[in-house]
Each structure stands twice: as structure tokens, then as C-alpha cells.
Amino acid sequence: MNILAFESSCDETACAVVSAEDGLFKIKSNTVASQVDIHRLYGGVVPEIASRAHTEAISRITYEALDVAGVTLRDIDLVAVTANPGLIGALLVGVSFAKALAVRYGIPLVGVDHIKGHIASAYLKDGRAPAAPQIALVVSGGHTAIYRVNSLNDVRVIGTTRDDAIGEAFDKIGRIIGIPYPAGAGFDALAGEGFVKTVGEGEGYFKRFRKSEIYKQGELALPSPALRDGTLDFSFSGLKTAAINLIHRYEMRGDELPRAEFAARYTYEAVEAVYTKLKEALSYEENADCEMILAGGVAANSHLRARLGELAREMRRKLTVADRSLCGDNAAMIAVAGFYEYERGRIQDSSLNASALDGIV
């Protein structure tokens, strides 16, 4: 079957055509109209501007996605659209557009949870779902959570951030040290310089970093976002606040912040926190047979990918990481997640509504 999917939950308007045959998914087209250049002027996403930009782009990118895939609307067997969570005005653009198309052409419609979409982006790695069950880490601008995935129709959150998301923590501190929005990729590169300056190149640099003088000196000390309360939860706001205080201390002393080393330390704490909690999740007896999935915008981070690769080897689990090109918001992942909604018969009519709220069902 051919699935036409839409994603408009935040600052990318995306449309894709994905085919699903015998459990094998193939991307026929995957178009994304990014709004980052607009939001960069404001240092973050402005919801009303995002909704307007989605409205302007959605029709054009739909034609483009159909064109590149070499299909027409008459070849489409399912319309899938992100219905939650996200910016409500932004979501409504995609949902309204998808509903109109589905009704006009008599195509079945499904609403998709954005987080399930991110998990499904890893399924596109080999074109099919990895062996179940999986422990999935989804890290993005709005989410940081660990899920137990029995199937895409049975996803349970087992750990989550109690405040900020990891991507937000990179974006906000990145902005303060002069990296334009969204700061994730720039932060990644700067931290890379910091790690090399401190401990050189090569594998295992996380372990060497912890033993380094700069780590021990405490000048750049930052708290771990991994909560020590027996849960698999995080708090990234403490890391963020401590980083702001640290930057102020340098400013007040008139000293120049060693930006690269600071970015390395900040990245170390953020990545090590998710490494620790994932390791804990995998060591639970009920998760002994779980493979691992890493997805979401922040899954593009090279240090996180490297460190979780080490974890996979340590724990002898297979790790499926979404392709870098599919880590950020896109509609191909929504098509795959939409297939599972269709499979379990959750066909929607034109009463489908968007919701800003989290809540995987």
C-alpha cells in the first residue's frame, strides 16, 4: 500500500510517500520545508509564525512529494497525519489538510502520535521493525523519554524528563554561548573540539574525559540530569541553571569561558545521564530480551550515538539508530507509525482533532 503522510507539529512542514508491502517500508519521497531560518531571528520557535508558515507550505510540498514519488492521489491507500503532541495551531494545519484530502478522495485516514513517529524512524533503517520488544530512547527538542516498545501499538513510557527536554537544554545554553538556533548541531561540533582538546581523538573518549584534569578540577563542574531517586527519570533544568550560573561566574570575573571545554562537559553530563538510565532500564529482568532504539532530533548527536554504541556492546544488545537524515521531524516516520494505526483498525473520520498534549495510546 502507498501511505501519504503529513507532519506539522513544530517547525518543519513535511510530506512523504512511503510504501508498505509485507512489513517492508520503502520511502518513495520525503519532502521537508524547514522554518528554522524564520524562527532563528527570534532565537526559538514562535507558534503563530509556525502555523502561518505551515499553511503557506503544505500544499506545495504535497505536490512535490507526490511528484517525486511518481504517484497521484488516486494511488494513495492511506493518509497519515501527526495529531499529537505539538503546537496546537501548527498541528491543526496538517490535520485539517489531511482530513480534507482523505474525505475528498475517499482515502482511509489515521492520526499519529509524534513520538511513535520518532520510534518508527528507526524502523526505516532496515525497512522493517527490529525484533520486539525494544527499549527506545526518544530525545528531541520537546521530549526526553525511555519507552518499552512491545510493538508500535503497545508503547509504555518507563522514564521521562520532569522538566526540560535534552534538545531544549542544548538549544538554550547554545544560544547563550553564541550558537544560532537550533543550537544542537553547532553544540555537537563545539563539544567535539572540547573533547579532542582535553583527551585527544579515538574511541572511549567519554571514559578518558571523566579521568581528565579539567574534569577533576571542578572549574567547569555541572550536575548530572539523571535523578537519583530509584526512577528512570531526568531533570535537565538543573543542568541548564547550573550552566547559566557557571557562565555568569566567568563573566563576573572578567575571564573568557573556555567554550569548547565547557560544551564538552555539558554534553558529557547530558549524554552520560541518558546512558546511565538506559543501562539501568536494560538491566531490569523484564527487559533482558530487549533490543535498543535511539531516535529523535538529538539522536543526530555524534557523542550520544558513540556512547550508546558503547552501551550496546557492553550490554550485548542490538542498537538501531535512526538515520541522521530521519532523526529530525519528517513525514516518512509518520507514514510508518500510521501503518500500525491502520493495522489495528484505528481509522478516523473527519472528526479527527489535534491535541497539544502527550499521551501515547
Q: Which residues bind ligand KG4 (CB under 6 A)?
A: 10, 140-142, 167, 170-171, 182-185, 187-188, 296-298, 300-301, 328-329
For residue 182, say if its preceding peptide bond is cis, omega within 30 degrees of 0.
yes
CB 232 within 8 A of CB 158: yes
Binding interface with Zn ion (CB under 5 A): 140, 329
Quick one: what does residue 182 bind among Zn ion, ligand KG4, none, with the CB cut-off 5 to 8 Å set by partner type?
Answer: ligand KG4
Cβ partners under 8 Å of residue 330, min gap 6 = 7, 12, 14, 16, 30, 32, 121
CB 89 within 8 A of CB 354: no
Whichever of 76 and 138 has its CB closer to ligand KG4, that residue is 138
Quick one: what does residue 85 bind among ligand KG4, Zn ion, none, with the CB cut-off 5 to 8 Å set by partner type?
Answer: none
Which amino acid type is present at position 200?
A: G
- CA 341-345-352 angle, to 5 degrees, is 70
Strands annotated E in the chain: 2-7, 12-21, 24-34, 78-84, 109-113, 134-139, 144-151, 154-160, 291-295, 319-321
User: Shortest Cβ distance from residue 143 to Zn ion (Å)?
Assistant: 7
User: Shortest Cβ distance from residue 119 to ligand KG4 (Å)?
Assistant: 12
User: Shortest Cβ distance from residue 20 to ligand KG4 (Å)?
Assistant: 23
Which residue is at the shortest CB distance from ligand KG4? 297
User: Shortest Cβ distance from residue 329 to ligand KG4 (Å)?
Assistant: 4
Whichever of 76 and 360 has its CB closer to ligand KG4, that residue is 360
Grid coordinates of 83:
495529531
Whichever of 50 and 110 has its CB closer to ligand KG4, that residue is 50
Which amino acid type is present at position 282?
A: L
Quick one: what does residue 294 bind among Zn ion, ligand KG4, none, with the CB cut-off 5 to 8 Å set by partner type?
Answer: none
Whichever of 147 and 268 has its CB closer to Zn ion, that residue is 147
Quick one: what does residue 300 bind among ligand KG4, Zn ion, none, with the CB cut-off 5 to 8 Å set by partner type?
Answer: ligand KG4
User: Cβ atoms within 10 A of the Cβ of 105, count?
Assistant: 13
Q: Which of 10, 15, 53, 54 is nearest to 32 (CA)?
A: 15
Whichever of 246 and 274 has its CB closer to Zn ion, that residue is 274
User: Shortest Cβ distance from residue 349 to Zn ion (Å)?
Assistant: 26
Whichever of 76 and 331 has its CB closer to ligand KG4, that residue is 331
Cell numbers 530512547 correspond to 137
User: Shortest Cβ distance from residue 142 to Zn ion (Å)?
Assistant: 7
Quick one: what does residue 170 bind among Zn ion, ligand KG4, none, with the CB cut-off 5 to 8 Å set by partner type?
Answer: ligand KG4
